[in-house]
Structure 1
Amino acid sequence: MIGLLALLAAATGESPSPSATEVERFAAPEAHQGVVADKRYVYAISNSQIGKYDRRTRQRIALWQGDPRLFIHMNSCSLLGTRMVCAASNYPNVPQASSIEWFDVAKMQHVATRSLGPGRGSLTWLDWHDGSWWACFANYDGKGGEAGRDHRTTVLVRFDRNFVEQGAWFFPETVLERFAPRSSSGGAWNADGLLYVTGHDRPEAYALKLPAAGSRLEHVATIALPTPGQAIAWDRANPRLLWSIARETNEVVASELPKIAR
């Protein structure tokens, strides 16, 4: 797939995208929405399930199962200390409503929740960075969308630790074109100071940065990935190792990303 992207870029005269290098892949039935990983374990995420896998043996050692009536659409998660923090919504129901769910990864138990209710869209990902929560509220052209909004109204919101809004930004037009007709399914800040996001279907990630002025993020680079969109998370042990999922085959995938100049 990555080689094909490079050939197409050459044929159209465009500069080829830098490519991620796949280094690990294994099956996990819960890998339908997202994945996170620490030094010892990989956690595969679906709407209402989280599977915990031993990184060495690739065997599942624990499974959390939530009530599908309460956990309708868990989109993505991130690790913060001993807690897993997950973005959830009521997709494809409308009006759109969102919540944040916390889990104890040692006990594999749900420990806290915060309802965000209706608002800017459906919460698809949440990340803690630079003393703030960064949340993406997705909007869609069709299924799961609300009248008067489409993918172009997808927004990144910065909250303080108490979820008081500190700022908000639209995504770059060049990235929105790649999202259409869906939205951003994954996002995570990297140690290099860039925000890496994915769409719903395309096998690529977009490196973004905050603008010097205005309310639209800047598009720094597009990186070809071995998996199509969905949620992503950086490896806790390797700052350039990105985890993603192949949802059609229910696999978790780790890829080494090249360094991106800001």
Structure 2
Amino acid sequence: MKLLHGFLLLITLFGAHLLTAQTVTEISSFQVAEAKQAVAVDADFFYAINNSTISKYSKKDAKLIKTWDGEKEGIKHLNSGVVIKGKLYCANTNYPEIPMASSIEIFDVKTMQHIGNHSFGIAPHGSLTWIDQKDGFWWAGFAHYAGKEASEGRDVRWTALVKYDMEWRELESWVFPKNLIALFTPKSNSGGGWGNDGKLYCTGHDRPELYVLKIPKSGYTLEHLATLPAPVEGQGIAFDQSVKSGVVLYGIKRSANAVTVSKID
């Protein structure tokens, strides 16, 4: 009887796992020449991010609205972006230079004018690849790399998620699990953000995958919940927070010069 009860319990748990398993389904795609580093999104537009340019497109028909070019201002390597209350915050670095230096460049999405900056200088955690805001805090991904791109003897294992207050005072930080470090290598964690389901989603540099994570109850290592095949090629991702039902993900496929839109169920 005990064996039967245990068997039924395993079936129940396995069935529950199947019911809660997530999938990523592509719902649309746009040809965008500038889709090389990342994409950001708000209610009406998406923003294709290249090394030194940001191009604003209509979500309805992918019509180009305006492009900001930061090359003359010394912007060489934008990594990702997130739109919060009418402002676009972009992670900016001096990649592949060493020592690594990072900043956040801020734009008014209506005018596409550069309106502010927060500089980390030579940040102790590495090269800033993505930022997001949740629960009244800033969250930032800092990358380290392998081989000739390694900094001061550090490698991909030094990649970290860092939590700040709203004034950019550091509060906590976590490292990534060893299995994800292996998948990131020789590059690193390139994109990330919080879905409106409360889960943290991250990407590597090239793989067509999303890594679902959460903050651990104890210790210093992020908890890896799942790996989801996804229509992206690593790099910077963004969540459409204007969609209130379900999780809608924007990503890029560099090889196809495409911005992809997907639903996570």
Determine the C-alpha separation between the residues in 2 that align with 1:75 and 1:186: 8
The letter of the residue matching 2:127 is: S
Aligned to 2:10: none
Aligned to 1:160: 165
Matches within 5 A, 1:171-186: 171-186=176-191
Matches within 5 A, 1:14-93: 18-67=22-71, 70-93=74-97
1:94 aligns with 2:102: no
Gaps of at least 5 residues in structure 1 are: 1-14
Cα offset, 1:69, TM superposition: 5.8
Shift in CA distance, 83/65, structure 1 to aligned 2, threshold 3 Å:
same
Which contiguous aligned blocks of 4+ residues in structure 1 show a shift greater than 2 angstroms? 142-145, 236-239
Aligned to 1:249: 256
Cα offset, 1:226, TM superposition: 1.4
Deviations 1:107-162 (A, max 9, x none): 01111011101121100001011111101110000243213211111011101011
The letter of the residue matching 2:225 is: V
* Bigger shift: residues 125-134 or 136-145: 136-145
The letter of the residue matching 2:257 is: N
Larger radius of gyration: 2
How many pairs are equivalent? 243
- Quick one: which of 204, 210, 215 aligns to 2:220? 215
The letter of the residue matching 1:36 is: A
Contact 1:28 1:51 in 2 (8 A): no
Matches within 5 A, 1:185-224: 185-224=190-229
SS at match of 1:191: coil
Matches within 5 A, 1:140-151: 140-151=145-156
> Under a length normalisation based on structure 2, what TM-score does the superposition of the two structures give?
0.88
Determine the C-alpha separation between the residues in 1 that align with 2:82 and 2:29: 19
User: Pairwise CA RMSD of aligned residues?
Assistant: 1.5
Aligned to 1:10: none
SS at match of 2:180: helix
Aligned to 2:115: 111
Cα offset, 1:18, TM superposition: 4.8
> Under a length normalisation based on structure 1, what TM-score does the superposition of the two structures give?
0.89
Contact 1:96 1:144 in 2 (8 A): no
Deviations 1:183-224 (A, max 9, x none): 111000112221100000110001100111111100011110
Gaps of at least 5 residues in structure 2 are: 1-17
Determine the C-alpha separation between the residues in 2 that align with 1:68 and 1:228: 29
Contact 1:48 1:68 in 2 (8 A): no
SS at match of 2:140: strand
SS at match of 1:63: strand
- Give percent identity, aligned residues only: 45
